[in-house]
Amino acid sequence: MKTHNALPSKRIPVAVLGATGAVGQRFIQLLDNHPWFEVVALTGSDRAIGQKYYETCHWILPTPMPERVRNLIVTPTMPVEINTPLAFSALPTNVAREAEPLYAQSGTVVCSNASAYRQEPDVPLMLPEVNPDHTKLVSKQQKDRNWPGFIVTNPNCTNTGITIALKPLYDQFGIKRMFIVSMQAVSGAGYPGVPSIDMLGNVVPFIQDEEAKMEWETRKMLGAYQDEQIALAEFNISAHANRVPVPEGHMVCLSVELQREGSIDDIAQAMTSYSAPVISRDLPSSPEMVIQLRSEPDRPQPKMDVMTGNGMTTVVGRLRKDPVFDYKMVILSHNTIRGAAGGSIYNAELLVKQNLLPQ
Ligand SMILES: NC(=O)c1ccc[n+]([C@@H]2O[C@H](COP(=O)([O-])OP(=O)(O)OC[C@H]3O[C@@H](n4cnc5c(N)ncnc54)[C@H](OP(=O)(O)O)[C@@H]3O)[C@@H](O)[C@H]2O)c1
C-alpha cells in the first residue's frame, strides 16, 4: 500500500446515501466546507425522491442546514443513478445490505455506518486511531468480489469509544476479559427513533442486536491483519445495553481484567499519552487528543463533555481499581459524530492518504 501524503488536488465529489436521517444530517453538517470532499448528490427513501433536500428533510441539528445542499434533488438509493468516487452510507442495515454492493460494483468507494458488512472477513471495520492497517483487506475484497469500488465500515457507535479507550491498554498490558454496561443516547436510534412516551423519565434495558455487536466488534478492530484476514483479539466481553433519555453521547461503564499487571498510574499514562498511528494524524478530522482522561469524580457527563475535541475525542473518567476485575472506568463518545458520520469521514480521509480513493 502506498502511504505518501498526497492530498487531493481538488475536492472529491461525494454522495450521502440516506441523507435525511439522523446520521445523514450529521454527514451534511460535517461535510459543509470540508477541505477534501464536496457533497454533490443525496439519496433517500421513496417518500423523498425528486424533492429538494430542504423540502423533504426534517432538519434536527442545531446549526442551519448548509446552503449548498438545500436545493439538491434527492435521488433514489437504488438503482444506482449517481457516479461519485466516494459515497457515505447512512442507510438502515437492511437497505445497506442490498444497496452498498451495487455502489461498490459501479466503482464507488462506500464508507458505511450500517452493520450489514461489518462482520464480512474481507471488509475493514475501521477506527483510524486504532487499526489503519486493516484497509489492507481492500485489495482482497476487490479481487474476490470483482468490484472496482469497495466497502469500508465504521463500528457500532458504542464500540467506538470502548475500542479507542482500550487500544492503549490492549497494546501495553493485554486484555483477559471485560464487563460493559452502556447508557445510550436516543439519537442512536435514528429519527424519529424511540417514541417519546417510551423514553421520557425512563430507561429501556434493551436495544435490538446491540449486545452481540458490543461483544464482537471490538475484537475485530483490536485484531491483527495476517494473511489477508483479521485474527480476532482473544478476549471475552459481557455487555448490557440500555437506552437512556439523553440526546447525544453514549456512555459506558467498563470493568477490565488485564493480562499483565500495571499500576493505576501506568494505566492513566497509557491512555493520556496515546496518539494515533502516524498515518492517521493531521487529517482534517483527526482529534487533537485521541483520549481525554478526566480526574473529577463526577465526569464525564454527556451534557458537559460530549463535544470535547469537536465531538471526536473519547472522554474517559472515574478510573479506579476494581475488586473483581483489575480496573474500572467510564467512557463517553459522541454517537452521531465520532461514532457515526465523523468517524466515517475520518475513514475516508485515511483512504485518501493511503491512496486508496480514486481522485
Ligand atoms: N444514529 C446513530 O448514532 C448511529 C451510529 C452508528 C451507526 N448508525 C447506523 O447508521 C445508519 C443510519 O442510522 P440513522 O440513525 O441515521 O437512521 P435514520 O434516522 O432512520 O435514517 C435512515 C435514512 O435512510 C433512509 N431510508 C430508510 N429506508 C430507506 C429505503 N428503503 N431506501 C432508501 N433510503 C431509506 C431514511 O429516509 P427517510 O428519512 O425517508 O426515513 C433516512 O434518510 C443505520 O444503519 C444505523 O444503524 C447510526
Domains contained in the chain, CATH given? 12-156+341-353 (3.40.50.720), 157-334 (3.30.360.10)
Q: How far apart are CA 313 and CA 306, in angstroms?
A: 9
Q: How far apart are CA 56 and CA 300, in angstroms?
A: 36
Helix (H, G, I), strand (E, B) or coil at 296: coil
Atom of ligand 1 nearest to the CA of 19: 43
| Minimum CA distance residue for ligand 1 atom 24 | 18
Q: Residue 154 above 50 pLDDT?
A: yes
- Mean pLDDT across 225-238: 97
- CB 300 within 8 Å of CB 317: yes
pLDDT value, residue 51? 98
pLDDT value, residue 163? 98
- CB 178 within 8 Å of CB 325: yes
pLDDT value, residue 100? 98
Q: Would you place residue 6 in the very low, low, confident or very high pLDDT band (cuts 50, 70, 90)?
A: low
All cell numbers assigned to 67 = 446552503
Q: By percentage, how much of the chain surpasses pLDDT 90?
A: 96
What does the pLDDT look like over 165-185, one tens digit per residue? 999 999 999 999 999 999 999
CA of 90 to the centre of ligand 1 (A): 5
Atom of ligand 1 nearest to the CA of 58: 39
Q: Would you place residue 9 in the very low, low, confident or very high pLDDT band (cuts 50, 70, 90)?
A: confident
pTM of the model: 0.97
Tally the residues of the chain. 359
- Mean pLDDT across 197-217: 97
Q: How far apart are CA 357 and CA 107, in angstroms?
A: 10
Q: Which residues of 268-285 are buried (b: 16+ CB within 10 A; e: fewer)?
A: bebbeebebeebbeebeb
pLDDT value, residue 3? 39
Cα 252 to Cα 54, 185, 193, 210, 300, distances in angstroms = 35, 11, 20, 13, 10
pLDDT value, residue 264? 98
CA of 67 to the centre of ligand 1 (A): 22
- Mean pLDDT across 203-209: 97
Cα 295 to Cα 96, 288, 330, distances in angstroms = 41, 19, 11
What positions carry a catalytic annotation? 157, 250
- CB 154 within 8 Å of CB 343: yes
- Mean pLDDT across 145-150: 98
- Mean pLDDT across 255-264: 98
| Minimum CA distance residue for ligand 1 atom 14 | 190
pLDDT value, residue 204? 98
What does the pLDDT look like over 90-131, one tens digit per residue? 999 999 999 999 999 999 999 999 999 999 999 999 999 999
Q: Residue 148 above 70 pLDDT?
A: yes
pLDDT value, residue 359? 67
Q: Which residues of 236-247 are buried (b: 16+ CB within 10 A; e: fewer)?
A: ebebbbebbbbe
| Minimum CA distance residue for ligand 1 atom 1 | 188
